[in-house]
Amino acid sequence: MYSRVLSASLYGLSGEETWVEVDVESGLPVFNIVGLANQSIKEAKERIHAAVMNCGFDFESHRITVNLTPANKKKDGSHFDLPIAIALLMSTGQLEPHKGEKKGPVTAYLGELTLDGRLSSIEGALPMIIGMQKRGVNRVVIPAGNLPEAQLVKGMEIIAASTLTQVTEHISGMDIIDPLIADGKTSSAESTAADFSDIRGQELVKRAAQVAAAGMHGLLMIGPPGVGKSMIGKRIPGIMTPLSYEEQLDVTQIYSAAGALAEDKPMICERPFRSPHHSMSAASLIGGGSRPMPGEISLAHCGVLFLDELPEFDSHTLDMLRQPMEDGQVSIVRVNGKCVYPARFMLVAAMNPCRCGYFGDSKRRCTCSESDRKRYVGKVSGPLLDRFDIHVSMERIEFEDISSGEAGGRKSADIRQEVIRAAEVQRLRYEGRGISSNSQLTPDLMKEFCSLDDEGQQLLKDAFIKWKLSARSYHRILKVARTIADLDGSSNIQRVHLLEALSYRQPDAYFKG
């Protein structure tokens, strides 16, 4: 006897329809799963056998063939357990859908089975449910543990169950589970980042961090050890704008696909902050593996990727950041297909000026030779440096600033309000143009929104010639100036805005040949 039920496969963040077909015939007992299934799916045979038996159903000796279609695409994941079990019970005549279920909309099934028939939470539930909805499927059966993230998909009928028995009783009409209609509402979480007022001094760098947050610009901080580079980097998420509904959905999809959603935090409501160790591999940073998974740059989507001790990272690994920073996404290509993950993040990095850390320090003498210093800073390639919109040097903090009992300066909440106002100006300005921040401006849009008067043109020309800037640096100076003008409430880029932007791109002595 033949039956089939609908499920889904996950390719990157794209949920695709996958039909689970089961045919049961008389013959020698065998249980075959075909359709390019990976090892975790093939092991489902043992899980399903035990779950079906422990839920009170028979598992008679038959010739069982399971096909996952389309059969020309690789399938991965333990979420096929439930649809295979349901189709198997239908094929053996042990499960008969009630009339309402037969006439109702097509239902998709997702869930991993334990040996006693319980439904375990699965990875990637959110992107698969979104993919189903895009293809006209508006009802899905999922494990109860995935309900919080599934509620993000507005308009979807969600049937959450804890056991295989509950699902079969719902299908047969014995005990129908009322579907929950997802409203798509998300939480608005307060930022958990530490406050900028904790930092004494460094007002110039705090201002640079505000400009970077307002326009989603890359920020590079250079200075001796202990001046507060890491403290500032960790506090930047606290001054960024709150995540919109669409951004929360995008970020939560990535964490769902990576299996990184915590049980007590099923939705990502604040901007991510990722700070990987410099010993990480290229695959961990960019994404990949035999089963392609999102890397740190995708987990930092819509948030901050903070690289502390930048020159300590592998040079080849760092240079792999260049294309994702330009494209806002990363493509992981394998023989059997391509996975695309979003990766539009704010890159913040910190580094010492040399190996010992005290080159240019007014208080301590540098012990590095000139060749050692050049070798150290040379680990960061020029093309990658060009992709930091803002370069800022940090000086040693004086004793009076540290020992003062006065507050360290403006609070993150006050800085954030100014950032939100500037971000709203950008959102309205670029509405319908496919971008949302100044850092995403294309050369064509810059002609429209970053025009300069004659005085500004001459100022920028002089800097371009004197500092031997690249075309990319020229464009990034204009983008930063546009953000400074937005923070100032100005519709035009004025000389003072351009001067501040240029101060963030001065050819630092640390990188001179």
At residue 41, the pLDDT reads: 93
- Does residue 395 surpass a pLDDT of 70? yes
At residue 399, the pLDDT reads: 61
Q: How confident is the model at residue 27 (pLDDT cuts 50, 70, 90)?
A: confident
At residue 441, the pLDDT reads: 95
- For 177-190, how does the pLDDT look when each residue is reduced to its tens digit (9 = 90+)? 999 998 877 666 66
- DSSP H or E segment with residue 391: strand 390-393
* Average pLDDT, rounded, for the chain: 91
Q: How confident is the model at residue 344 (pLDDT cuts 50, 70, 90)?
A: very high
User: For residue 304, what are the β-bridge partners?
Assistant: 273, 346
List of residues 6+ apart from 421 with CB closer than 8 A: 487, 489
Q: pTM for this one?
A: 0.90
- Does residue 119 surpass a pLDDT of 70? yes
Name the nearest CA neighbour of 153 among 111, 125, 172: 125
- Does residue 295 surpass a pLDDT of 80? yes
- Does residue 348 surpass a pLDDT of 90? yes
Mean pLDDT, range 142-151, rounded to an integer = 93
Name the nearest CA neighbour of 450 among 490, 419, 509: 490
Residue 454: half-sphere exposure toward Cβ, Cα within 13 Å: 0
If 0-12 CB within 10 Å is exposed, 13-18 middle and 19+ buried, where does residue 134 land? exposed
Helices 245-257 + 125-134 axis angle, to 10: 120
At residue 307, the pLDDT reads: 97
At residue 426, the pLDDT reads: 97
Mean pLDDT, range 427-434, rounded to an integer = 94
- For 401-420, how does the pLDDT look when each residue is reduced to its tens digit (9 = 90+)? 666 655 567 899 999 999 99
**Residue 59, φ and ψ in degrees, nearest 5:** -130, 75
